[in-house]
Structure 1
Amino acid sequence: MIRLVIADDHPLILNGLTGLFNFEEDFQVLASCSNGTDALDEIRRQRPDVAVLDIRMPGLNGIEVARRVTEERLGARLVLLTAALEDEDMLDAVMLGIQGVVLKEMAPQFLVQCIRKVHAGEQWLERRSAKQALEKLLKREAGGREVAHLLTQREIELVRMVAGGSRNKEIADKLCISEGTVKVHLHNIYQKINVDGRVALLRYAQEKGLV
């Protein structure tokens, strides 16, 4: 038997998954959860073979639950369900070593096949998205090494905040420094990486995988 804990915050989908899995003779649904917190509790308690998690859930999302499962070495293999696969989601999945990622638009039988493969120790990832995620990860690591030679950790932190849309006052408040000090930091950063303003700094941060 493949023992499952499943989680999705949409009742129709959760009921549909429960019915689908109960129809399979080699599947046993141990718990059906409507949020990530309950799912993590059930995984800790039931120790399933496979956890099937919606990426978008209130409280803890699927990625966060998967991270806790991995950190706590709870033993469950992990399958993520998603309506739309964002690059960052796939990157997180690859970095966490998640074994399966399935789009909700796919036929239910593909999810059943995915679970069986994952339970057997194989992977089921959408190839194009996984390839893009790995390329992005390699780019980020290479960019990070290059930036670390040019900027201090505080300057890298400031670059990320600027690239995230924070204004000077917000940055000053978060870092507990004055706006004047923020401006001095920015001036030094512009000189070190040879850019002429916030827009160019954003492009630089994107190119180096800092955001």
Structure 2
Amino acid sequence: MERYRKVAIDLVLADPHPVVLDGLLHIFQNMDGFSVKSCATDAESALKAVMEFKPDVLITELILQNKTGLVLIEEIQKKALKTHAVVFTGACIRDVCKAIDLGVQGMVSKDKPKHVLAQCIQSVYAGKKWLDKDLTLHTLTHLLDKKTIHASLPEVLTAREMVVAKMVSEGLPNKKIAQNLYITEGTTKLHLHHIYQKLNCPGRVALALHIQSNGLN
């Protein structure tokens, strides 16, 4: 007996603009290999749709009605839902950094053609990470060019905060940092909170970039 093979990637679409939603719906309804289960303009409706239909992939803008797409992604992660998030966005750099920090597996700028978005979705569905190189490069370049982060680490951080910051730049997750320093994960998060505040830093990616650009890694 031939084993059942899934023929389409199930999707839930979330964007605050009905015109954009209609466009995405039209694209994926007429593209082989995809099945749209629901559309939503706000985060709460999107979360309900994800919980109801259990789609393979959620395509979401970071700017949504009621709550942000970042909050939506965090709630999906907290509920340990198997749906993967693909961010399709024209959001500001700070929000893009935060999305990367959340571990979003797929991200595409809204100025990219539909086949790029489709490729991203397929890669994420296959368990791979697909981040728009132009979007992430623009984000990091902007952080440097505009000098978003002004402070010098050795001048404002404590010795322990410096160690935590360097471990972040090396790609260590909070749990591993806590184990290495013999502290709790909660204490690690508190250190990071203080580091971000002191350096006016939007997240782990920007912090790592700052450390590298100052030759502190």
Stretches of structure 1 that go unaligned for 5 or more consecutive residues are 152-204
- By how many angstroms is 1:47 displaced? 1.0
SS of equivalent to 1:117: helix
Q: Is residue 3–residue 48 contact of structure 1 (8 Å, CA) maintained in 2?
A: yes
- In 2, Cα distance between equivalents of 1:41 and 1:14: 17
- In 2, Cα distance between equivalents of 1:21 and 1:124: 19
Stretches of structure 2 that go unaligned for 5 or more consecutive residues are 1-7, 144-148, 162-195, 203-217
Alignment of 1:61 onto 2:68: yes
* Aligned twin of 2:51: 44
- In 1, Cα distance between equivalents of 2:56 and 2:133: 24
Closer, same or farther: CA 145–119 of 1 in aligned 2, 3 Å: farther
Pick aligned residue for 1:15 from 6, 15, 22: 22
Q: CA RMSD in A?
A: 3.2
Structure-to-structure mapping, 1:95-110, within 5 angstroms = 95-110=101-116
TM-score normalized by the length of structure 1: 0.63
* Aligned twin of 1:76: 83
Closer, same or farther: CA 149–51 of 1 in aligned 2, 3 Å: same
SS of equivalent to 2:111: coil
Tell me which moved more, 51-60 or 87-96.
87-96
Structure in which a larger fraction of residues adopt helix: 1
Alignment of 1:115 onto 2:121: yes
Aligned length: 154
Q: Is residue 52–residue 78 contact of structure 1 (8 Å, CA) maintained in 2?
A: yes
- By how many angstroms is 1:87 displaced? 2.9
Q: Is residue 157–residue 198 contact of structure 2 (8 Å, CA) maintained in 1?
A: no
What residue identity is the alignment partner of 1:114? Answer: C
* Aligned twin of 2:157: 147
Closer, same or farther: CA 144–58 of 1 in aligned 2, 3 Å: farther
- By how many angstroms is 1:130 displaced? 3.5
What residue identity is the alignment partner of 1:21? Answer: F
Closer, same or farther: CA 148–37 of 1 in aligned 2, 3 Å: farther
TM-score normalized by the length of structure 2: 0.61
SS of equivalent to 1:51: strand
4+ aligned runs moved over 3 Å, structure 1: 128-133, 142-146, 148-151
- Aligned-pair identity in percent equals 27
Closer, same or farther: CA 145–19 of 1 in aligned 2, 3 Å: farther
Q: Is residue 10–residue 37 contact of structure 2 (8 Å, CA) maintained in 1?
A: yes
